[in-house]
Structure 1
């Protein structure tokens, strides 16, 4: 019998949520690569997101960056046992220092632990809290950041 890792289950469940609740992610061909050690990685294929310059469309990159943050928060809240909130993006700043000429990986890492703990405490006390997350996008075979995003996400009841 094959054992499926809980992180694999979480990644698969997130992909289903994204494709069901945000149909654009299906059309973009977005896939959840993995959720490991509180890092989320999403795959953005070039073909359905290509622009007139044969690079990944800036709007698709923005969506990928936002959804990496949204997905990170969704998964991390479930790990913390919090399922009664709604996640929305409140503000986002993005830069595109390099073109993306191939399939890409969007990544969101955990914020500082103190920031996370304050976010959770505020939500439990007030039913609303804000968290700033940083995401980046690189070409699939590169570590060089082609896109940098900082977003403020709100969790509310």
Structure 2
């Protein structure tokens, strides 16, 4: 799935991504980079709403795992189980979410998925504003094999 296809998928299946004006800068089974502008995500302080920051990170993390499973031909339902977000800096403009599977125990995840039809994996996303890390999200996802 390329950038345009992922953007269309997110906007069609997760309408909040369209309302946030999320754009896809990179889409691969190794890394997903999403961006969102400030205006549709602004809060009363003139900075980005924490829920938008969190959602953008969650979308990036979910997307990279979705693309990896798709690339390996694993039909599944992928859902979020738990998230943790550390907000480090206020976001006063366009923000970029970068998520990858570096450091994830992919082999154990695959083994559990094949053995039990269900597995969990944590994926990290960093949210960057003007080159600095403004937030970090850790999402724990559950994949269920479709049979």
How far the C-alpha of 1:117 sits from its partner, in A, is 1.2
Q: Counterpart in 2 of 1:61?
A: 53
For the residues of structure 2 that align with 1:129 and 1:36, how far apart are their CA atoms?
Answer: 21
Q: Is the 8 A contact 2:28 2:67 kept in 1?
A: no
Quick check: which one's strand share is greater? Answer: 2
The number of equivalent residue pairs is 145
Q: Counterpart in 2 of 1:147?
A: 135
Q: Is the 8 A contact 1:33 1:43 kept in 2?
A: yes
Q: Does 2:34 align with 1:42?
A: yes
Q: Is the 8 A contact 2:65 2:101 kept in 1?
A: no
Q: Counterpart in 2 of 1:133?
A: 123
**TM-score of the two chains, using structure 2 as the length reference:** 0.93
How far the C-alpha of 1:36 sits from its partner, in A, is 4.9
- Partner of 2:143, secondary structure, is strand
Q: Is the 8 A contact 2:99 2:124 kept in 1?
A: yes
**Aligned CA-pair RMSD:** 1.4
* Unaligned runs of at least 5 residues, structure 1: 1-8
* Unaligned runs of at least 5 residues, structure 2: none
How far the C-alpha of 1:35 sits from its partner, in A, is 2.3
Among candidates 85, 90, 94, match of residue 94 of structure 1: 85
Q: Is the 8 A contact 1:56 1:102 kept in 2?
A: yes
- Partner of 1:81, secondary structure, is coil
Q: Is the 8 A contact 2:28 2:68 kept in 1?
A: no
